[in-house]
Amino acid sequence: MNQTKRSKNVFLIFIFFILAFHFHCRVNPNPKGSLFDPQSAQGALSSFFFNDILNNVSSRGWTVFSPSFGTTDPSDSVLFDQEGTTTYAIYVRNTNLTTRLYSSTNGMNYSQLGLQINNTNTNIFGAFTGRSQLSNYHSLNLGGAWTANALITGFCMVRYNTASAYILGDGIVDRTIDSGNSINTISTSPAYSSRNSGVCSFGNGKIYLVGGKNASSNLFDLWESTDGINWSLLTQSIIPTQSVGFNRPCYNIQNSNETNVLGMVYSDITSYKFHVVLSNLALLQSNDGKNWSCTNPNITYKSEFNTIANRVVLVGKRLFVYGQSNTGVENVYTDLE
């Protein structure tokens, strides 16, 4: 008797799944409002039960923490640099044209340093020893006073020692060896493809450039250089060819125009060397920069900043992500090991 009931229940569950798949699985891999859309209430069942069981998907645990910079806006920009055990950040509010300098020793709690400045900074920031460098201002006393300087152009500044940094732009690479006091062009034809933005990081004695945007789409290529002049392509796309979890973040990154690179770090103390976070919180990891794995987050997340910059910071083995979202989930962290 009990065996008959169990068989009947299994049969009904099977029929329910077949019907759900038939009516809701369409050509669009992310049908809005369907049972397979994790962004909708209807999608909760399939996204977190059927899909994970059927695809044997594991999720990385992310913890939400309170924003450190107050109320955010998609037009804002936040940039980071680290010197020793201190993480420095500049938060730019384009709604009222103000920039503030912050510091943190744990990645979670930031304190404002010095005075705010009324300006519109681009994606240029370097925390040199004794000098905080923005695109058009600098401070010699951690924001106590700001002095205007000639505009530094480019989509990212990546510091490689206490006084030197590369500035990457579309078809140009500049360098400073005196903490931003003077800027010199070292290449007008870098090998990396044309783009108006990108995520930059430094590690293992190399500059890394990943992703960004060109005139038509988001990019997911990864380049490296030891001198800013000679560049090598590690991979045309960091997106794994094999998806993980139907209609989960690692699966949805196949639609590259809905997702972009949120940040990257290189680490010598973690099992993986490269850690790239996408705007939907999918975590891509690699040891050689060529072969990548992807892990889905345990929460729904979408960063909505209008600009692309490196907004990921590694403190010890804890990875911090700073985003902007109208869902209320903005800043998160995960312990890599």
Among 145, 120, 115, 114, smallest CA distance to 134 is for 120
pLDDT tens, position by position, 127-173: 999 999 999 999 999 999 999 999 999 999 999 999 999 999 999 99
Q: Using pLDDT thresholds of 50, 70 and 90, give the confidence band for residue 13.
A: low
Both structure tokens of 188 = 């007008």
Torsion of CA 164, 169, 171, 175, to 10 degrees: -10
The arrangement of strands across the sheet holding 231-235 comes to 199-203, 206-213, 218-225, 231-235
* pTM of the entire predicted model: 0.82
**pLDDT reading at 14 higher than 70:** no
Instruction: Give the DSSP H/E element, type plus range, for residue 63.
Output: strand 63-65
Q: What's the CA angle centered on 171, arms 166 and 174, to 5 degrees?
A: 25
For range 44-54, the mean pLDDT: 47
Domains of the chain: 2-56 (no CATH), 63-335 (2.120.10.80)
Phi and psi angles of residue 335, each rounded to the nearest 5 degrees, phi first: -90, 115
C-alpha to C-alpha distance for 82 and 42, rounded to whole angstroms: 43
pLDDT tens, position by position, 219-261: 999 999 999 999 999 999 999 876 555 557 888 786 666 789 9
For range 33-57, the mean pLDDT: 46
**80 contacts: CB under 8 Å, gap ≥ 6:** 87, 88, 89, 125, 310, 311, 313, 322
